[in-house]
Amino acid sequence: MAKDTSHPDPVPAGSLARYRQRIKQLESENRWLRHELSQHPDAPAAGSPLAMLKEVSTAIVSELDLRRVLELVAERAREIISADTVLVPMISSDRREYRYVAASGKHAEEILYTRLPIHVGMCGWVLTHETPLLYGADTPFALDESTRWEQGQASALLVPLFGKKRIIGGLSALGKAGGSSFTGRDMDLMTLFANQVSIAIENASLVEDLRNALDTLEQRVEARTAELTAINRELESFCYSASHDLRSPLRGIDGFSQILMDEYPQLLDGPAREHLQRIREGAQRMGQIIDDLLRISGIVRSDMHSDPVDLSTIAHRLIARYRVEDPGRQVSVEVQPDLACQGDTAMLEEALDNLIGNAWKFTGRKEDASICFGSRVENNERVLFVRDNGCGFNMKYQDQLFQPFQRLHSHHDYPGSGIGLAIAERIVKRHGGRIWAVSVPGEGTSLLFTLPPAARD
């Protein structure tokens, strides 16, 4: 359905009072019409206009498809007052024209979707004056600018459709079936029907606006997804290109520096050898950064598997490896049993390796070092944590904690590339979780995170 069939834009504040008064008038008019129509002898009878009005109004109000609502309004209005033709004009959003959005009866297909200036014809008169019109042989009405289907009509009946804030359109009945004329009772029925279905039209318009918005959003999401996919492919290509193109000259810098130091020691004094050593360390450091960038890229773009993961078992295995690699340290480690989740085993092991490894490193200067891997419940949610009593950090720098290559401590005091927590954070987020830290300088750090629970059989 075209856009101009939806409810119009907000009206100026000065006009709202007039339309609020009009709504009260319509409510009063509805009550009066119901009372008057109920007094008619055939009102309770099955198949009577009033019974039909009640039945079709209920059906229309329950419908949410705008096109179907408008079609039903035209069809049922024609049945209720026995009209040859019923048209549904709706005012455009700029309120400069109206458009026939539904039609039923004679010449309906010829008239449907016609656009006319707001002042043209009997419909235009009703829409601009916001007043019903009962046109007949004894009712003078200037038809100078009327449409061709309105000319020559012996009888016509037109009523406005009022929305919550202003007039939104109307109902136009042309020609009474059998050649007779529309009556005041037809006017009452049509007015009551219009008042009842106007809310259905507005509701359906709102639903259509929402659907259009969702369709537009889906198209934008698809376009953005395609754009991001292309960008990711370019980044992936860049990473591999950087890996290949940068590694070779870095290896050359490191290798030739080593050759100079090994084969020409008599030509190099102490400062020269120190400079070469710094060159080698810089090249090796750059190589490590390239490796770390590729690791992050791999985490972001790699496929994920979903399996039950025993985190407690993984933690025990990691701790055992740290003890073998660093046998001189005495670290008290507690691992809570039966910690499990759902996710990619390899990714989660890498994340846990970085989190526990972080705790192992930053307790390196503690004689009574301790690490705990466990869980607790916060706000009805399980929160996993790796807690240590290491050096800690100032919480005002917490935003840097999970950023690649952002270090909160000196590289000489605590060596590392500053990439481990960034990798852990990306793995947790890929699993739909979140991660944060709580720390006190000199007292230790707790790295807290959430993961989906293991699926039940």
- For residues 25-50, give the mean pLDDT: 52
> pLDDT category, 341, cuts 50, 70, 90?
very high
* pLDDT over threshold 70, residue 286: yes
- List, for residues 144-193, the tens digit of each pLDDT value: 555 788 877 888 999 999 887 889 999 999 999 888 899 988 888 888 88
Distance spanning both ends of the chain, measured CA to CA = 48
More confident residue, 86 or 197: 86
pLDDT of residue 172: 93
Helical packing angle, 420-430 and 345-362, nearest 10°? 140
Please tell me whether residue 288 adopts helix, strand or coil conformation: helix
Q: What are the pLDDT digits (tens) for 241-278?
A: 766 677 778 888 888 888 888 888 888 888 888 888 88
CA distance 35 to 50: 11
DSSP letter at 139 equals S
Q: Which of 243-257, 334-348, 399-413 has the highest mean pLDDT?
A: 334-348
- Provide mean pLDDT across the span 111-130: 90
Tell me what pLDDT residue 417 has: 61
Phi first, then psi, for residue 42 (nearest 5°) are: -90, 10
| 297 or 226, higher pLDDT | 226
The pLDDT value given to residue 1:
39
Looking at the predicted structure, is the pLDDT value of residue 58 above 50?
yes
Lowest mean pLDDT among 75-79, 134-138, 311-315: 134-138
Q: At 294, is the pLDDT very low, low, confident or very high (cuts 50, 70, 90)? A: confident
**Digit-coded pLDDT (tens) for 295-331:** 776 676 677 888 899 999 999 999 999 999 988 888 8
- Is this structure's pTM higher than 0.85? no
